[in-house]
Chain A
């Protein structure tokens, strides 16, 4: 069983959903982002999503755009991001790690080589924002062969005709985009989610996580109960960004502030179980 499947199975036994916090690789520097990554499982992360910086993050709002720019300025590369996961795996063999990014840096690295190296580094799943099922042939066969999950976004605009096409091409879990919009700009509406998640469940047995617009512990708790997990990204990046000094450098309490917030989110996700 893959790490992702094992983790969701374990949480199901415990009767609760997953907290999936996000960090951007190398934001604002390699050591700080590595410390956040290392600290996340202890703070209550059930799965972890790592953003791979890209110059043109089309689906992201200002918060993650800036994180991406800080990461690139600090020297982030695909190889560097994979090295972070490799280091993380030396001390954590159980927490699933998902890379989220855009296709061009993967193509530039070499699609097949990327899958081989990602698998060897301990990556469990991939979210490639600008690779819909129609364009997945460049990556998906290699990922399947290596046992890496391709996690797909399902949006409120994904209608019933299209839903099976998207889900057919998904594995690991389904990432439900709670808002029609870019990351970090609006809050998800619980009523809409309560209607949307059963619609997806009718088409798949995969766990469903809700992301885009999940910011507070209350929202994370609620989303993790409506679905099987909650992804929190921009709210954590904002905390990190606010903790930086005037030159954009991490301060001594930057890592602790982010991890404290993860702890708060985790408590809310566990409270309802």
Chain B
């Protein structure tokens, strides 16, 4: 379905986006109904004011340190490194693999970084209710957590299908005091949860802030969530300096909407020696209809307020993504990724359900770290990449979340009843 394109001229910097209209090249923008437009502009104005206020940054960083537990460690995964060296076609090869341990954050994933930033923003805007969409439940849990901390009522929209397959996270959100609304429209997964959250927001604009979980949606969400998540890459920069005295050679992260990847990549975009790999969910394989690889298997279109690569049929109807990971089966991707894809700055690849399952088990056994299914996709690509590189090369994998939430899904696939 990919249409051929002429690659645009390379910009002087990859970090200049978005422009005033919220565009990264031809991607992004604000494709929303007029009812929402004034609200989006209000969020944008509030965010640009907050960005200029050192007090805002200070409050957010203090929360990251004392509440989230940042900085998250950069862990040298020695046994994974040895495993890759053993697979190397040329003896002596096999890059060193590091994990950026976002799984050790409070709530168990990177999502909390951007949620705390957005909740602080909502408070500055005088909003008294928070809504969020969630797929795997990680963003919903992070939002419910921040709302508990700041005593804000929280409503989380979650596809009914995802409610079924992510029961532990549904229970967590309820314990934290959030209301979880199962969404039954469409295929009842993440995209439908986002539609429903947008619909609710339109009807409750006066007091409600919509806390989006990824680098998608109308401007300014893609840039705002990216800015907050960039703490990941900023830390990796100095941590790798401490560990190895130089920059990493390759960064690898899983892509659903793409917030953990954008957060890791962004601070390195203008370092030409640093290669980047975004790993989409290949599901049953991207030559089948059952996958969620928007960049490699989709084409540009408009959904959820932005122009980006989408899974869609020949008539422009949006198709459901499929992945073993409820956090990756979104039919779109953040617009900045679409731009980086067309520029060729980041290489976008995919890993299948099966490859992710294998990596999930391998990581548990070799490192004593049970990864979420999302970073298990990224690890699957690291297992392909590291053996082909010389031993002095450094790879950083974003271990974006822990796998406790996924043990039921994985057990099911392995034929184990728990």
> B34 to nearest A CB, angstroms?
4
Is B185 a contact partner of A154 (Cβ separation < 8 A)? no
> Given contacts A58-B199, A180-B205, A182-B202, are A108 and B31 in contact (CB under 8 A)?
no
B-facing residues in A131-147 (Cβ within 8 Å): 131-132, 134-135
> A19 to nearest B CB, angstroms?
23
How many residues from B make CB contacts under 8 Å with A? Answer: 36
Give chain B residues whose Cβ lies under 8 Å from the Cβ of A159: 38
B-facing residues in A114-167 (Cβ within 8 Å): 129-132, 134-135, 152-159, 162, 166
Is B195 a contact partner of A56 (Cβ separation < 8 A)? yes
Does chain A have a CB within 8 A of B6? no
Does chain A have a CB within 8 A of B314? yes
Is B317 a contact partner of A177 (Cβ separation < 8 A)? no
Interface membership of chain B positions 282-312, coded 1 if the CB is closer than 8 angstroms to chain A and 0 otherwise:
0000000000000000000111110000101
Q: Interface with B: A59-67, A83-91, A233-241, which one?
A: A59-67
Does chain B have a CB within 8 A of A77? yes
> Given contacts A58-B199, A59-B199, are A105 and B316 in contact (CB under 8 A)?
yes
Does chain A have a CB within 8 A of B366? no
Give chain B residues whose Cβ lies under 8 Å from the Cβ of A77: 315
Report the Cα distance A108→B36, complex, angstroms. Answer: 24
Is B31 a contact partner of A130 (Cβ separation < 8 A)? yes
> A133 to nearest B CB, angstroms?
9
Does chain A have a CB within 8 A of B168? no
A interface SS class = loop
Is B312 a contact partner of A104 (Cβ separation < 8 A)? yes
Interface membership of chain B positions 309-334, coded 1 if the CB is closer than 8 angstroms to chain A and 0 otherwise:
01010111111000000000000000
Report the Cα distance A182→B198, complex, angstroms. Answer: 10
Does chain B have a CB within 8 A of A185? yes
A104 in complex: contacting residue of B32, B39, B301, CB < 8 Å:
B301
Is B34 a contact partner of A185 (Cβ separation < 8 A)? no
Interface membership of chain A positions 50-76, coded 1 if the CB is closer than 8 angstroms to chain B and 0 otherwise:
000011111111100100000010000
Is B199 a contact partner of A61 (Cβ separation < 8 A)? yes
A135 in complex: contacting residue of B30, B41, B319, CB < 8 Å:
B30
Is B21 a contact partner of A56 (Cβ separation < 8 A)? no
B39 in complex: contacting residue of A54, A56, A157, CB < 8 Å:
A157
Give chain A residues whose Cβ lies under 8 Å from the Cβ of B89: none
Give chain B residues whose Cβ lies under 8 Å from the Cβ of A102: 302
Report the Cα distance A181→B38, complex, angstroms. Answer: 14
A-facing residues in B27-79 (Cβ within 8 Å): 29-39, 41
> A111 to nearest B CB, angstroms?
11
B316 in complex: contacting residue of A104, A155, A158, CB < 8 Å:
A104
Smallest CB gap from A162: residue in B: B38
Is B205 a contact partner of A108 (Cβ separation < 8 A)? no
Is B21 a contact partner of A134 (Cβ separation < 8 A)? yes
> A172 to nearest B CB, angstroms?
16
> A237 to nearest B CB, angstroms?
15
B318 in complex: contacting residue of A60, A104, A106, CB < 8 Å:
A104
> A100 to nearest B CB, angstroms?
12
Smallest CB gap from B314: residue in A: A108
> Given contacts A58-B199, A58-B304, A180-B202, are A72 and B38 in contact (CB under 8 A)?
no
Does chain A have a CB within 8 A of B203? yes
Report the Cα distance A152→B33, complex, angstroms. Answer: 10
A130 in complex: contacting residue of B21, B41, B302, CB < 8 Å:
B302
Is A59 a contact partner of B35 (Cβ separation < 8 A)? yes
> Given contacts A132-B30, A134-B30, are A108 and B316 in contact (CB under 8 A)?
yes
Report the Cα distance A132→B305, complex, angstroms. Answer: 10
Report the Cα distance A163→B205, complex, angstroms. Answer: 18
Is A62 a contact partner of B185 (Cβ separation < 8 A)? yes
B34 in complex: contacting residue of A104, A106, A177, A181, CB < 8 Å:
A177
B301 in complex: contacting residue of A60, A108, A186, CB < 8 Å:
A108
Smallest CB gap from A131: residue in B: B31
Give chain A residues whose Cβ lies under 8 Å from the Cβ of B186: 55-56
B interface, CB within 8 angstroms of A: 21, 29-39, 41, 185-186, 191-192, 195, 198-199, 202-203, 205, 301-305, 310, 312, 314-319
Can you name 14 extra interface pairs (CB under 8 A) apart from A132-B30, A132-B37, A157-B35?
A56-B192, A56-B304, A58-B195, A62-B185, A104-B312, A108-B314, A132-B34, A134-B37, A155-B34, A157-B34, A157-B39, A157-B205, A158-B34, A177-B35
